[in-house]
């Protein structure tokens, strides 16, 4: 199972929200590049970056930070936040994103998202589905998209969908453990799609439980910043993989 550390950006700084609430923002590091370099040094291969300013503005806002991290590391960067247009996808890829995460647009404009899957390939386009009480939330988790994650995945299988990041909003930033059953169920239902767990990881034991249940990848954010999971522990995990 792959561990994917997360960097959430507001005004170029590393932050974490609690349950997606911008009013509950905590700044952890003013230098995202330094954080990314520390991840790369411990053997991490993939990095999850969310442009929270971009999510609000409906267009990427922190591409300079992406450019700096991509230029200074060999990390496989997945980038999300404000990806709602052809221009935004191109800008993110040109700035160094290996993969682009698309959330609200996949609900609001299915035809456009399907075209991106076909145009850029399933290896570059990720479906981001943030769920609350079984329904996908959109527009920075402020709106109910009126669709379940399973229905959304089903809609894009004919277009080659192969990557899903599913965030359980109720667990995000809470450090209370992830909803393993959710991800196990999604992975079993969609074996051709790589399902990434997001939300609630608090300890290495959470990651071990996820791996033992067949979860293929997990995003870890606040647990690292709060010292509940150390870079040394991640390095040891990766050495044993």
Indicate whether 23 pLDDT > 80: no
Summarize the confidence of residues 192-219 as an average pLDDT.
96
Indicate whether 141 pLDDT > 60: no
Question: Mind giving me the DSSP string for 127-177?
Answer: EEEEEETTEEEETTTTEE-S--HHHHHHHHGGGT--EEEEEETTTTTT-S-
- Identify which has the larger pLDDT, 226 or 29: 226
> 124 and 100 in contact (C-beta within 8 Å)?
yes
Indicate whether 135 pLDDT > 90: no
The CATH number for 166's domain is 3.20.20.70
Q: What is the pLDDT of residue 42?
A: 95
Q: How many beta carbons lie within 10 A of that of residue 34, not counting itself? A: 12
pLDDT per position as a tens digit, 41-57: 999 999 999 999 998 89
Q: How confident is the model at residue 240 (pLDDT cuts 50, 70, 90)?
A: confident
Domain, as residue range, for 102: 2-240
Domain count within the chain: 1
> 208 and 177 in contact (C-beta within 8 Å)?
no
Long-range own/partner contacts, residues 61-64 (CB < 8 A, 24 or more apart) = 62/9, 62/12, 63/91, 63/92, 63/95, 64/12, 64/95
Q: How far apart are CA 212 and CA 206, in angstroms?
A: 10
Catalytic residue among 8, 51, 168, 206: 8
Indicate whether 87 pLDDT > 60: yes
| Mean of the per-residue pLDDT values of the chain | 91
Share of the chain above pLDDT 70, in %: 89
Considering Cα of 129, then 133, then 138, then 142, what sign does the dihedral take?
A: negative
Q: How far apart are CA 136 and CA 170, in angstroms?
A: 12
Catalytic residue among 21, 41, 86, 130: 130
pLDDT per position as a tens digit, 151-175: 999 999 999 999 999 998 877 666 7
- Known catalytic membership, residue 76: no
Considering Cα of 164, then 79, then 42, then 130, what sign does the dihedral take?
A: negative
Q: How confident is the model at residue 132 (pLDDT cuts 50, 70, 90)?
A: confident
> 59 and 85 in contact (C-beta within 8 Å)?
yes
Indicate whether 98 pLDDT > 80: yes
- Known catalytic membership, residue 8: yes
Summarize the confidence of residues 73-91 as an average pLDDT.
97
Q: Give the SS3 label for residue 65.
A: helix
Summarize the confidence of residues 123-145 as an average pLDDT.
79
Q: How confident is the model at residue 209 (pLDDT cuts 50, 70, 90)?
A: very high
Q: How far apart are CA 179 and CA 100, in angstroms?
A: 24
133: which 2 tokens? Answer: 């009480």
- Identify which has the larger pLDDT, 27 or 3: 3
How far is C-alpha 44 from the geometric centre of its chain's CA atoms?
15
Indicate whether 101 pLDDT > 60: yes
């Amino acid at each position: 199972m792959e561990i994917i550390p997360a960097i959430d950006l507001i005004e170029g700084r590393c932050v974490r929200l609690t349950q997606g609430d911008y009013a509950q923002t905590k700044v952890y590091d003013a230098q995202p590049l330094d954080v990314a370099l520390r991840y790369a040094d411990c053997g991490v291969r993939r990095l999850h970056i969310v442009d929270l300013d971009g999510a609000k503005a409906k267009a990427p806002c922190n591409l300079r930070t992406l450019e700096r991290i991509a230029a200074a590391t060999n990390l496989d960067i997945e980038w999300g936040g404000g990806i709602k247009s052809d221009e935004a996808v191109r800008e993110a890829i040109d700035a160094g994103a290996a993969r682009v995460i698309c959330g609200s647009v996949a609900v609001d404009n299915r035809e456009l998202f399907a075209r991106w899957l076909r145009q850029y390939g399933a290896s570059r386009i990720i479906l981001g589905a943030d769920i609350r009480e079984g329904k996908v939330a959109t527009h920075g988790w402020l709106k109910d998209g009126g669709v379940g994650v399973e229905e959304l995945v089903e809609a894009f299988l004919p277009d080659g969908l192969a990557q899903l990041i599913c965030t359980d909003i109720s667990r995000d930033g809470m450090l209370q453990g992830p909803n393993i059953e959710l991800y196990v169920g999604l992975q079993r239902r969609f074996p051709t799609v790589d399902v990434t767990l997001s939300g609630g990881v608090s300890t290495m034991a959470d990651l071990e439980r996820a791996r033992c249940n067949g979860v293929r990848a997990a995003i870890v954010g606040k647990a690292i910043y709060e010292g509940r999971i150390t870079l040394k522990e991640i390095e040891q995990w990766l050495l044993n993989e």
